[in-house]
Amino acid sequence: MWITGFEALLRWEHPKRGLVAPDEFISVAEDLGLIIPIGQWALHEGCRQLRAWQRELVDLQPLTVSVNLSGRQFSHSELLTVIDQTLTEKGLEASSLKLEITESVMMDNAELSAAILLDLKARHIDTCMDDFGTGYSSLSFLQQYAVDILKIDQSFMGLGTESVAILRTIVTLAHNLGKHVIAEGVETPGQVALLRSLHCEYGQGYFFSKPEDGKAAGHLLAARRRW
């Protein structure tokens, strides 16, 4: 196993409180009408950083960056324009970008979601259904709409009989529908072994690395680590 991509994570570096997690400030940003510019900044920075790594480490396997979209961002009328402009400005191939949307956001307006997902697929941008299994999406949604990847929520990453059964079911379902799978919250060798046995393509979590800034993540890439 090796690094195939990164997820861009937001942290607020507060002068007194230090790093503040997004679950503490995202709702405030939404209330203040700041979530759109913050989300666009995250998209720009994620694409900029990935393109820098691609230039510096040209012999690595193809890398991707995943950027989360809030509900307001996903339904914003200028979403596709902003994405197109960002990719052009940063010189990044569309296939290097992944966009993560929670299943609850997608289901809020299924018709609009379907149209946006098709537009993104036409651009060769993969979309990930984040926190899969924790919301209320139906199997018909997975069958009919152009989601490329299911991200299994970390709450299903236990090694008990029931957790393993749920993981196996989700992975099998995804593969039968022609979708890839990312398991979140991977922290132990036992979980890695389980994912390998289930033929889950990707894992994400502290087993591989804790969240890092761009410089530290670049060092991790340069080390060419294998697991």
- Mean pLDDT split into 10-residue runs, the chain, 227 residues: 92 89 88 93 97 90 93 94 98 97 85 93 96 69 84 88 91 93 95 95 95 93 90
pLDDT given for residue 136 in this prediction: 61
- Report the Cα 127 to chain-centroid distance in Å: 8
Calculate the CA 151 to chain-centre distance.
8
Please give the distance of CA 180 from its chain centroid, rounded to a whole number. Answer: 12
Q: How far is CA 37 from the centre of its chain?
A: 19
Largest CA distance in the chain: 50
**Contact call for residues 73 and 36 (beta carbons, < 8 A):** yes
Q: Which residue has the tokens 């666009």?
A: 40
**pLDDT at residue 21, as a whole number:** 86
Token readout for 130 is: 């984040």
Calculate the alpha carbon distances from 196 to 171, 186, 203 in Å.
Answer: 11, 12, 10
176, with CB counted inside 10 A (0-12, 13-18, 19+), is exposed
User: Token pair for residue 181?
Assistant: 């799978």
Whether pTM exceeds 0.85: yes
Pull the structure tokens for residue 126.
């993969």
C-alpha span between 64 and 51 (Å, rounded) = 9
What pLDDT does 135 receive?
63
Which amino acid is residue 160, in one-letter code? G
Nearest to 99 by CA among 78, 124, 76, 77: 124
Q: What are the structural domain ranges in the chain?
A: 5-222
Say which residue the tokens 């405030």 belong to: 28
Is 172:223 a contact under the CB 8 Å cutoff?
no
pLDDT, residue 54, reads: 93
Q: Which CATH class is domain 5-222?
A: alpha beta
What is the Cα–Cα distance from 141 to 210, expressed in whole angstroms? 33
SS3 15: coil
CB atoms within 10 A of CB 194: 21
